[in-house]
């Protein structure tokens, strides 16, 4: 049979269990699970190690991934000891955020005169994505149109020169005409020259088509290299 003191102690503990559930208990993250819940080791001996606590995010649509050793607070929502959750501690000693995702169904805006990406020492202007892409599309479209037109012109020149070379060769070898040797040699030379021009024009046409793709590849590669630089400002 319990003494009066023991009975009083049990009565107090029964009524105080809800009060004891309202404090926030600092804890260390042991590991974050695939479902984003965390296993924690509370600082206080009042609580045991706890597994798979839901990690409360700072706002709807935000996904936060933290590293082991990060600091959180264990909170019993509504004083319910059966439903503990982990709440991130937002201070300099809370640990590093490994990944941060922000999902918005309409729009996400950052309003600040100075936004830095990758480093607080960032000084280089980040490419303005929409403006850059629009200008790039216009530039590449105009260049492609020019090169395509130049290639088509080269194809016409190649065909004309080839036809002219064939005609000159036929003229030089026409059995019905008695060309003197110097004249025949001149005609054959002209035919050879036109054939060379036809070959060069064909090569030019091929190069024009290849240059369109090559320039696009080089330009995109340069842009990708620039964007991969870790020191940028918006």
pLDDT tens sequence across 187-198:
778 778 877 877
Give the tokens for residue 129. Answer: 């994505």
Name residue, tokens 């020169």: 161
The answer to whether the beta carbons of residues 40 and 86 sit under 8 Å apart is: yes
Crossing angle for the helix pair 181-228 and 129-172, to the nearest 10 degrees: 170
Range 182-207 average pLDDT:
78
At 39, is the secondary structure helix, strand, or coil? strand
The answer to whether the beta carbons of residues 79 and 73 sit under 8 Å apart is: no
Range 155-178 average pLDDT:
78
pTM of this structure: 0.47
Span 103-147, pLDDT tens digits: 888 888 878 777 777 677 766 666 566 666 677 677 777 777 777
State the pLDDT at residue 34: 94
The answer to whether the beta carbons of residues 9 and 17 sit under 8 Å apart is: no
State the pLDDT at residue 94: 63
Most confident of 46-50, 133-137, 212-216: 46-50
State the pLDDT at residue 26: 92
State the pLDDT at residue 3: 82
């Amino acid at each position: 049979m319990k003494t009066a003191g023991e009975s009083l102690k049990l009565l107090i503990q029964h009524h105080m269990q809800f009060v004891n559930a309202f404090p926030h208990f600092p804890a260390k993250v042991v590991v974050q699970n695939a479902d984003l819940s965390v296993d924690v080791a509370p600082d206080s001996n009042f609580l045991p190690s706890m597994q798979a606590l839901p990690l409360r995010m700072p706002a709807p649509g935000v996904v936060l991934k933290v590293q082991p050793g990060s600091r959180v607070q264990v909170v019993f929502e509504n004083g319910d000891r059966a439903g503990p959750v982990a709440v991130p501690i937002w201070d300099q000693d809370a640990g590093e955020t490994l990944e941060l995702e922000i999902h918005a169904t309409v729009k996400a805006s950052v309003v600040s005169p100075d936004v830095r990406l990758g480093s607080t020492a960032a000084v280089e202007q980040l490419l303005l994505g929409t403006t850059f892409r629009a200008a790039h599309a216009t530039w590449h479209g105009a260049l492609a149109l020019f090169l395509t037109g130049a290639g088509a012109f080269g194809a016409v020149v190649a065909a004309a020169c080839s036809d002219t070379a064939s005609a000159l060769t036929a003229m030089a070898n026409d059995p019905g005409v008695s060309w003197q040797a110097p004249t025949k040699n001149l005609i054959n030379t002209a035919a050879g020259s036109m054939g060379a021009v036809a070959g060069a024009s064909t090569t030019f046409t091929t190069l024009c088509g290849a240059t369109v793709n090559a320039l696009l590849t080089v330009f995109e590669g340069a842009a990708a290299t620039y964007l991969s630089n870790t020191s940028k400002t918006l």
